Structures are given as C-alpha cells and as structure tokens.
Amino acid sequence: MNKLWLIVQREYLTRVKKRAFILTTLLIPLGLVLFYAAMFLIMSYEDEEKIKIAVVDEGGIMNKVLKDENDLYFSFPNESLANLKEKVEKEEYNGVLVVPKPNRIEVKDFTINYFSENQLSMTNKVRLEQKIGDKIRDYKIAELNLDKEQLDKLRSKVTIDPEPIKEGDKDSTSMTGLILGGVGGLLGTIIFFIVFINGTQVMMGVMEEKTNRIVEVMVSSVKPFELMLGKVLGIGGVTLTQMAIWAILFPLIFMGAQLFLGFDFGESQVAAANANAGVDQEQVESFAFQLMQEVGNINWFLILSAFAIYLLLGFFMYGSLYAAVGSAVGDDMAEAQKLSLPIALPISLSFYLIFPVMNAPNGTLAVWASIFPISSPFIMPARLAFDPPLWQVGLSLVVLIATTIFFVWFAGRIYRVGIFLYGKKATFSEMAKWIFYKG
C-alpha cells in the first residue's frame, strides 16, 4: 500500500510539476476565452460604411417606413430610374431600390430590384426584406379592410405542460426535458473527454516507462500490478486536477474578460437577438427565472455524487485497458493507435449514443446503454437528471463495478507480460495467451 502511494505520488508530481502541464492548464482556458472574444468581435463588427439608397416607391407605401438607421440612409427623390442610375454611377447614391406597387392582393411573392455596383451585405439585405415585407402586410390588411387588432388576436401560443399522475409528485414544466437533456448531455460529454484524454495519457506513460527500460528495475521492487495501478491512479489524479483547475479558471477568466475588455458574452447577444425577434424584456426575465427554478429543482447532490462514481469507475476501467495496450507496444505510436482501436471505438460509440438517449431518456436504447458496462459510464450520468428507476441505477453500478474489477485484473495480466516484451510486435491473439501465463 505504501509503495503504491509512492508510485501514485511520483506519477502525479512529476507530471503536475512539468512546465508543459502548467502551460496547457493555464493557456487553454485563456486561449479559448481569447478565441471567443475574437469571434465575438468579428460577429459584432459593423461596417462603418454609410449606404445611401434612393427608393423608387411605385406604390407610395414605403415612405416613413424605411427610416434611416444603422448606416442605411434612405431618400425618396422624385426622379426617373434612369436618372437615379446615373447618380449611382456618379456616386451620389450607393444604389436604387425599386419597390413596385402591389397590384393584386393574392400575390405572395414580391421581387424588389436593387440597382447598384456593390451588393448589399447579408444583414442589410435581410433587414430590408423584413421591413418591406411587414409594410406590404400592413398594406394588404388595409386593402382588405381587416381589423389589425383582431388579426393579432388570431395568433395563439401553445405550450404542453407535463403534470404528474399522483398529487404531490414533482411537477415539471415544459422546459424540464430540455434542461435535463442539456445537463445530462453535458455530464456524459465531460466523462467522455476525461476518460479519453486520461486513457491516452496512461498509455503514453506506460510506453515511456517501457522505452526507458526502467520497468525491470521497478518490478524488482514492486509488483507489476502495483506499478500499473499507481500509474492509472497518478495520471488520473493529474487529469482530475486539470479539470478542477479549469472548472474554477474558466468562469474566472470569463468574468475577468467581461470586466476588463468591456464586452459581455451572452447577454448582449441575447438582447440583440431579442430586439430583432421582438421578444419583450419581461418575457425574457420570466424565462430566466423559470430556468433558474428548473436548474434548482434538479437533485444536484445525487447527480454529482453518482457522476463522480461513474467517472472514477470509467477511468479505472478504460485507464487500465490503455495501460495494457501501452505495455504491449513500446515506442511505436502507430502500433499503439492500432492496438488501442478496440478501446477507442466503444468509447466513441458510447459518446454518440448520448444524443439519441437524451432524445428518449427512458427508451429501450437508453435503459440498456446505461446498464451495459462499456457504455454505462457515459450514458448513465447523462440519464441521471431524468430520474431513472433506482433498480436500473443499482444494476448498472453492480455490472460496472464487476466489469471494472475484471478489466483491471485482465489488463494487469497483459501488462505484467507486455512490459518485458521488446522487439516483437504484439498481436491480439498473443496478448490473449498472456492472460493465462502463470504468475
């Protein structure tokens, strides 16, 4: 036990103290924030160029509707199209917009011509289309002698609100499914990344030890199994440390970026989107309140503790398998990739299962994928927010623990033979034989 602890310590400390670890741990969040900041700046970048548009309003319905805004300036000169085109060439205007008179009410598709040397930007084009479309609608309402207020009343918004069968059971709202799906998907994805990154790290660590040829010195002091376990635990600790630092660092850097760089992600974009979509602020606030309430309703304690258990089991199971592959390879990275495929494939498939499972969190696929031990470390945490029946969680845990113990033993059997093998390429059938070698 004492030796195992020494190994874990070494594996952990030598990695955590490395400059590369410190740099990646600090720079990745910073890099991501800078990336988002750059994206944000690019997205919100508005061209300073002022665009002057002469409108030929054949129906006389556009005046006052097209107001100057956002660097778009409209004028309604009473001149012929030919004249205006000339003025565009002389650069008095950037373009001429010809809005024909809507002849017949039945016509649904309008084409409006814009004469210019340069095209309108995408945003300006969409904005203009929207405004003119709205005005044509108003014009049609007036022509048909309809009451605008009555028309607005015809629009209804329908929401399906899920209610429990028994009184006193938890009452969910229409948003519950969406939020739980989001939380579940996020948890599953986090486990996927941790298991995957960690597994590769363990494999590389074992390969390094074997290439260095120190492994024979090591196993004259400790059991190969202890060495493997120490590696899985130590590197697991490194991965978890990095995740924990990121969990703290990301929000801090985001907040810092908001404070110092003077822009805020999210809010301004949401506000802009809302303004465009015509959603009023009150609605947004009640939505946010509901969201908070939903998030608060989730049994976080249960979910996070189960999440931690599945995470640990998942990376033990896959970490030791990766260690076994590393022991069989040596320093040949291509060979390592080939041999680790049977591990990487089920992990990736399980990850893709998260999406259909979130769509039907209590469906047959979801139930079996969360019990089957290869995929359960990713799928069950994703389902947890949906309150799966307790027997399923229990069964899934029992199966996973048994499988993890089996795989750690199995990997240990391969490892203890593999680490001594040099020069020869290991095949799967050969590795299978190693399992049955006597101690």
Residues that bind another protein (CB under 8 A): 3, 6-7, 10, 14, 18, 209, 212-222, 224, 422, 433, 437-439
3-state secondary structure of 72: strand
Closer by beta carbon to another protein, 219 or else 243: 219
Our CB check for another protein shows the closer of 195 and 228 to be 228
Q: Which two tokens stand for residue 287?
A: 């939505």
Identify which of residues 20 and 160 has a Cβ nearer to another protein in the complex: 20
Shortest Cβ distance from residue 356 to another protein (Å)? 44
Joined together, the tokens standing for residue 217 give 């010195």
Q: Is 400 exposed, middle or buried (0-12, 13-18, 19+ CB in 10 A)?
A: buried
Residue with tokens 């006193």: 168
Judged by beta carbon, residue 90 or residue 213, the one nearer another protein is 213
State in angstroms the smallest separation of the CB of 234 from another protein.
Answer: 12
- Count CB atoms within 10 A of the CB of residue 119: 10
Report the nearest approach of another protein to the CB of residue 411 (Å): 18
In the complex with another protein, the residue whose CB is nearer, 215 or 380, is: 215
SS3 content of the chain, % helix, strand, coil (to 5): 65, 5, 30
Complex with another protein: residue 221 or 293, whichever CB lies closer: 221
Q: Which residue has the tokens 């309402």?
A: 141
What's the closest the beta carbon of residue 436 comes to another protein, in angstroms?
9
**Pick 219 or 270: Cβ nearer another protein:** 219
* Beta-strand pair 72-75/51-57: parallel
- Write the DSSP assignment of 271-295 as a string of letters: HHHHHHHT--HHHHHHHHHHHHHHH
CB of 391: closest distance to another protein in angstroms?
A: 42
| Closest separation in Å from C-beta 219 to another protein | 5
Q: How many Cβ atoms sit within 10 Å of the Cβ of residue 127?
A: 16
Q: Phi-psi region for residue 412, left (φ > 0), alpha (ψ -120 to 50) or beta? A: alpha
Token pair 């040829």 is found at 213
Structure token pair of residue 430: 């050969």
Structure tokens at 85: 């085109």
Q: How far is the CB of 329 from another protein (least distance, A)?
A: 16
